Every structure is written in C-alpha cells, then in structure tokens.
Structure 1
C-alpha cells in the first residue's frame, strides 16, 4: 500500500507544481503560495472534521520543532513553482527529486530527527550517481 501512496504522491507533486507555477504566473509567487496553503488548510480541516484522528496529548510528547513542517511546505511550494517557471516541468522535477533523495540519504545516513540510522552502501551511491547522470543526459541531449 505504501508504494501506491508514493506513486499517487509523486503524481500529485508533478500536478501541484504545474498548477502552482501557472497560478504564480497569474497572481505572483507569494500570493500563489498563500492561496495554495489556504486551500490546503480548508481541505485538511474538512477531512479532519470527518476523520477526527487527533490525540492532542501526543503533541506534548514530541519536540516542538516537528510542528514546523508547514513552514518547510511554504518554501517547497515557492521553490517548486519558481523552478518550474524557470526550468520547465521535467527538468525542475528531476532536480527536485535528486535533491530530495540526497537530503533523505544524508538524514538516513546520520540518523537525524529520530529516524533509524542506515549505513551507506555501494548500490545507494551508484543509484544517486545514475540519477545525476540521467539528468545530465536529459538536459544535454
């Protein structure tokens, strides 16, 4: 089931980037970011109204900075829409995916933010290198 969610999320990321970039062309980047997050807030509240899965006592047991994910989201949306406007959809998504994978790799390698530390292996490094080479081939062909 996790693979299905990853595929759906990846598809939505590509669609979101296009929609955000087009909205940003029309209203400006930061207004686009504002609209995107406001609409997302409305949807999240509507879903929460029916789902009601909160445990507010658990909120006290996690470090405060884990609630800052929304702040990262603001910069993700801004960066993605700006990259798509300047680079085009495919190249921007290629670079974003490699950056995301390298960031995740470094976090896993060091065990940061409470994730289980995972040692590096040759296959992972080769995979990252192949992705970068693939972007180069895509870009310069």
Structure 2
C-alpha cells in the first residue's frame, strides 16, 4: 500500500512539473534550454541530498567493466522522451501526445516484467494482468480523448470543419509509442542501478547527471539564444525554478518502486497519479493554467484506471 501511495504521489507531481517547466520555457524562450535548467537544478538537488545522506556521489569505476553498458543510459532515455514530446505536440496535438506514449509505457512495462529484461523482477503476463493493463489504457482514452472529443463537439457542432490532414502523421504516432517504451525502460534501468549501487538516491543522481550531460550536448548543437524575459511584463514567479526538484523526486520514486513492485505496476500506478494531477491542475487552475472543471466523463475514466491498477496489483 505504501508503494501505491508513493507511485500516485510522484505521478501527481509530474504534470505539476510540466506546468512549471512550461512557465520557465516562456521566460527563457526555448524548451531545450528550459529542460537543461530543470535537469541541472534537479541534479544539484540530488547531489546535495546524496552527499548529506550517503556521503558520496559517484561509485567505483570497476562497475563500468563488470556491469552492462545499458545500466548507464537511463538518463539519456529520459531526455529522448522529453524531447520527443516537445516535437510531437505540434504534430499530433495534446490528446495523441498523451495517449500514444502511455500505450508504449504499459506495453513495455508488461514485456519487461514478463521476460525480466534489464535484470527486472519477473512477473509473468497473466490474463488478469493483461485485462488490468487494457482497463488502464481504456481509462486514459476515456479521460483524455473522449472528454476532448465531447468538448470539441459542443464547441464546433454548428460548424462544418473539414477532416484534418493525416498524411505523414504515422511516423510521429510510432515515435510516440516508441518513446513511451523508452520511458518504461528508463524506470527498469534506474531501478536496477539503485540495486547495483545499493542506493536509490545515488542511482537517481547518476540518471539525472547523465541526462544533464546529454542536454548540454543538445544545447551546444542547437545553440539557443540565452535570455531571461518577463512574459507580459509580469515578474517571474519563484516557483518556476522548482520543476527540476519535482522531476528529481519523480526519478527517485521510480528507482525505489521498480525493485519492489516491478516495472509494469510502477508504470500504471504512476500513470493514475499523473492523470489525477492533470485533472486537479485543470480543475483548480493551478500554476497559472486555464481553469477547466473536471467532468463526469473524466471521473469515469479515472475510476476505470484505478480498477485496472487493482487487477494488476492483485494478479
């Protein structure tokens, strides 16, 4: 039960981090620079916490020789997931950008558990677990897609709108599923890294540190213009610098959960928290977002997701 509470809590934090980083992006002018700032702050937070508790940051170099190469690339997968979502959003819109990676995360989580990839705890794919995973997917579709469709129908039902162009979108859709799978793989990799280092904190720091290095290289290649503006002439809020800390706690929570409950269950528990957090932000208009009250359809979708998590947990 404690693991479920942690998973839901860090899942709720994820959309809060996204909202904070979106505000940071408006001030610095580029999503890649905003991501670098967020990762750097998260890395510094984890470095200070790790030093305070574990009294060391890094590890014996002999691990590079004795451990598989994939153990060190979890942070890179996190950067690829983040960057792909930035690129997919204008191509696919918000609904598909949410749903396609979720499908990839659940699919990869079940595969990792079933085959024990990345030295993960093995949990065979039973019919009950499969039905639970399908319920989670259905819940996401109901919460995001159906709600969005009903809103668009109410808004445009009197307007004859031509069908949108879909040519060339399948590349982005496949990419969405693919980066979702990378996200689940990141959770499994970081979970095993925590076991190898005997420290969830140290593993989270290493993952964030690698991700920060990858973002430094990406920003050096893209060479974005450095700026710090005040959108709409208003002062920048202090909380726009906290996204990296929330992201660090998210990675730390995943490192802790995966060895205990497995990758598949971790993914779906966090997903329920993510959807809950997104609905709360929309409902109350937190962090400067537009207020959109929760609808009965969204509540139904959330209940379906919770039922799916319960099935997977009981399997």
TM-score of the two chains, using structure 2 as the length reference: 0.42
| Structure 1 counterpart of 2:200 | 29
Gapped regions of structure 2 (runs ≥ 5):
1-87, 90-96, 98-172
Q: Could you tell me which residue of structure 2 aligns to residue 68 of structure 1?
A: 242
Structure 2 partner of 1:10: 180
* Equivalent residue in structure 1 for 2:263, among 46, 69, 89: 89
Task: Name the residue aligned to 1:125.
Answer: 299
1:105 maps to which residue? Answer: 279
Task: Provide TM-score, normalisation by structure 1.
Answer: 0.90
In our comparison, the structure showing a higher alpha carbon Rg is: 2
Question: Is structure 2 residue 219 aligned with structure 1 residue 48?
Answer: yes
Deviates more, 1:2-11 or 1:66-75: 2-11
Q: What stretches of structure 1 of length at least 5 have no aligned partner?
A: none
- Offset at 1:18? 0.5
- Cα distance between partner residues in 2 of 1:78 and 1:18: 12
| Structure that is richer in helix per residue | 1
Identify which of structures 1 and 2 has the higher relative contact order when contacts are C-alpha pairs closer than 8 Å and 6+ apart. 2
Change (3 A) 1:83 1:57: same
1:38 and 2:209 are equivalent in the alignment: yes
- Number of equivalenced pairs: 141
Measure how far apart 1:54 and its partner are: 4.1
CA distance in 2, matches of 1:45, 1:92: 29
Paired with 1:83 and 1:120, the residues of 2 have a C-alpha distance of 29
The secondary structure found in structure 2 opposite 1:57 is coil
Residues in 1 aligned to 2:230 and 2:269: alpha-carbon distance in whole angstroms: 34
